[in-house]
Amino acid sequence: MKRIIAPLLASLALSTPLYALDLVPFGTSGAWQIFSDPNHGNNCVAQVQYDDGSFLRLAFLDKATKTSITSFSPAWKEFKLDHKYDVAYQVDDAAAIIAQAKGIQVDTMPGVEMVFETGDLFGTLVTGKVLTFIADGNTIVQQSLDGSADAIEMATACEAAQK
């Protein structure tokens, strides 16, 4: 029995798309999950996973003085862990904004994280339908923003509850 359960538990832990396995669930909003991260000052994170296994994470950092957008998808496979890249993000048909991104990975899923020195970035995102990431003039990945307004509202409540 141990031979069956131990690998099963290990595979479940490894398949969870989280930076840290000890994120604390705060709630859900539609398809989005909201967590607080005790490893990073209990900052709050809104995360959605898509049918292809990719996921998008919108997070508050440094007591909501900074924000981050993190995208995980097999499409990021050319991006190396901890390397920095110029990546543009675009909400719907608005002008693309270039930001510095760092290559990251969860389990075997590659991704990029962009950190912003402002806490008001999410206002732009929650009004859109699709978030497009562009590198070297090519669309790398498009991720749905459906439900993000309610998810960010709940993440904001989560952030307030941590103070």
Structure confidence at residue 3 (pLDDT): 43
| Assigned domain for 62 exists | yes
Q: Is the pTM for the entire model greater than 0.75? A: yes
CATH code, 113 = 2.60.40.1880
Question: What is the C-alpha R_g of the chain?
Answer: 16
Structural domain harbouring 44:
22-161
pLDDT band at residue 39, thresholds of 50, 70 and 90?
A: confident
When pLDDT is averaged across residues 34-57 and rounded to a whole number, the result is 92
Beta bridge partners of 103: 112
pLDDT band at residue 107, thresholds of 50, 70 and 90?
A: confident
Number of domains in the chain: 1
Q: What angle (nearest 5°) sits at the alpha carbon of residue 46, between those of residues 45 and 52? A: 125
Torsion of CA 105, 111, 117, 120, to 10 degrees: -120
| Assigned domain for 135 exists | yes
